[in-house]
Structures are given as structure tokens and as C-alpha cells.
Structure 1
Amino acid sequence: MGYVRDIMNKHVVTISKEKSCLEASRLLQEKDISFLVVVEQNNPVGIITEADFVRKLVAQDKKPSELKVADIMSPKYRWVEPTTAIEDAVQKMLNNNIRRLIVLEEGKLAGVITQTDLAAYLRSKLLIDETIRGIGSED
């Protein structure tokens, strides 16, 4: 089917765990994305999502300018390597009920893979398969 490296996004938006939640929310808005990889000395240490803002800030009536990213980030994150089979990445996402995976290569951040990436890949694969079947049935 393919490997994570074939569909991962290499342009990962990161933020320091020491930045304010306000800065993080502005970065999400500016980049029009739903999550950030949280780093410390360029190494991933967590993830912060829109859901973290809702559950840990808004629902608790806290001020984003007064909290650091480290205060609301999820320190647990799932990851795969670029050489992981796409099927295995999908299974990991399903098993853990998550929408994204960090891609690490030799312990360093190499990219991310999201449900959107997977859906686009599967859609194009299905279209190609249907086209090939259509060509084969014309004979």
C-alpha cells in the first residue's frame, strides 16, 4: 500500500512549551491548523490541540495569556517512523482513537500524518484502482 513517508506532511508547525497559550492559539489561527507539536530544544515533548484549548482553558474559564503551553498540552503522543506501513499507521490511529501521529526519524521530528492525509491518499488510491479496472474492462 505504501509508507508513512509517502504521505506525511514534512512542514510541521511547532511551539515551545514555554510560550503562552495565547501565542499558541494565535499560531493555530494564523496557520489555519488544529494542532501544534510542542517542542523543547527542538525535540517533541507533547501535542496541543483545539480540544485542549476547549477542555483545559475555555471550559475552566482560564485566561490563555496567563498559562503556558506546558500547562495544557498532552505530554503523551503517539508516533510512527517514516518507514511504517500506512496500514499500520491507520491501525495505530484506530486503536488509540486519535486523529494524528507524529513522525519521528531517529528520534527527531520528521513530520506528521493526519486523518486528512490518510483520507486524501485513500481517495486517490481508490480513483486509480477504479481507473485501472475501467481500462481493463474495455478490452
Structure 2
Amino acid sequence: MAAGVVRDIMTKQIVMIDHDKSALEAAGIMAEKGISSVFVVRNGDPVGIVSERDFIKKICAKELPIAQVKIGDIMSKILTTADPEMPIEVAVQRMVNHKIRRLPIMEDGKLVGIITVTDLARHLRTTLLLEGALSDFSNIDDVFTTMDQDDKH
């Protein structure tokens, strides 16, 4: 992967929901905005993240009533974060080490963005295209179109 820092590829539009809101409210926000995760906050501070996977494993698989489940009860706690000036390679290693698909980006104690595996794949694609390593544009574009539909931020 080419040199660069997290700020170069992070998604700056982040969506947050208070920890005491219902999972139904969070699902509605995610559907409305076409995103696959939301940050959970308590008193304005990020304390967790909820993804579509959390809904499936922690609500649907257990047949819980989504309107009665608090989002704070199904969130995944934030295990690690990155700084916007962190090298991309270091952020990737952090995600691998913690086995996470989404990495919150913090600056001066404030949540300023997120990096997802989709962001990293796009960055890799751009790097490979610039280096001339990819020649079959149509096939790779199909892959990223599918990723965009399946894993929007």
C-alpha cells in the first residue's frame, strides 16, 4: 500500500446515536442514511459502535424485540482508535491486531472520522491503478460497486 496518512482516506461524515436510544431508532437512522454502522455516544463521548452485524448476532439471532433493546446494550466497545496523521499501514495493522472492520479516528479527544475495510480497499485500488498494476477496469469496478452497496459507511 502506498504511503499516506489516515486523514487521506478516512470518512469524515460520521453518524452518532445516544447509548440509551433503541436499536429500532438506530436501525432507522442507518437505513435512512444508507450506512452500515453508527457510533454510540454517552454524554457526547464515543463509547462504542454498532454495525449491521451486531443487529444480526445480538437481536435477530436471539429473536429480541428491536424496539425494546437499547443500543448501548448491543454495541461493541471501541477497542482502539487512530490519529489522523497515523500512517495508513499502522492503522491497517491496528485493525488486523484487534480484528475490527471499522477504526474510529480521534483528534484532540474528538471523534473526527472512521476508516473501514472498504476505505482501505478503495485506497489499495487507487494505488494499484496509479502504479499500473490493474488493467482490467471493468472487473475491479464491479467489485467496488458491490462493496459500496453492501458496506456503506
| Corresponding position of 1:57 | 59
Task: Tell me which residue corresponds to 2:39.
Answer: 37
1:75-114 map, 5 Å: 75-114=77-116
Unaligned 5+ segments in structure 1 are 132-139
SS at match of 1:110: strand
Q: What's the offset of the Cα at 1:41?
A: 2.3
| One-letter code aligned to 2:132 | E
Q: 1:134 maps to what in 2? A: none
Partner of residue 6, structure 1: 8
TM value normalised by structure 2: 0.81
Q: Distance in 1 between matches of 2:77 and 2:126?
A: 34
Q: Deviations over 1:97-118 (max 9, x none)?
A: 2111000001110100011111
Q: Rg: which structure is higher? A: 1
Q: Deviations along 1:52-82, whole A, 9 cap, x unmatched? A: 1111111111111111111111123321010
Q: Is the 8 A contact 2:84 2:107 kept in 1?
A: yes
Aligned length: 131
CA RMSD of aligned residues (A): 1.2
Match for residue 141 of structure 2? none
Q: Deviations over 1:94-139 (max 9, x none)?
A: 12221110000011101000111111111111111228xxxxxxxx
Q: In structure 2, what is the Cα distance between the partners aligned to 1:72 and 1:32?
A: 20
Question: What is the percent sequence identity of the aligned residues?
Answer: 47
Q: Which amino acid aligns with 1:36?
A: V
Extract unaligned runs of 5+ from structure 2.
134-153
SS of match in other structure, 1:88: helix
Give the partner amino acid of 2:110.
K
Distance in 1 separating the partners of 2:32 and 2:89: 32
Partner Cα distance (1:90, 1:75) in 2: 19
Deviant stretches of 4+, over 6 Å: none
Which amino acid letter does the alignment assign opposite residue 119 of structure 2? D
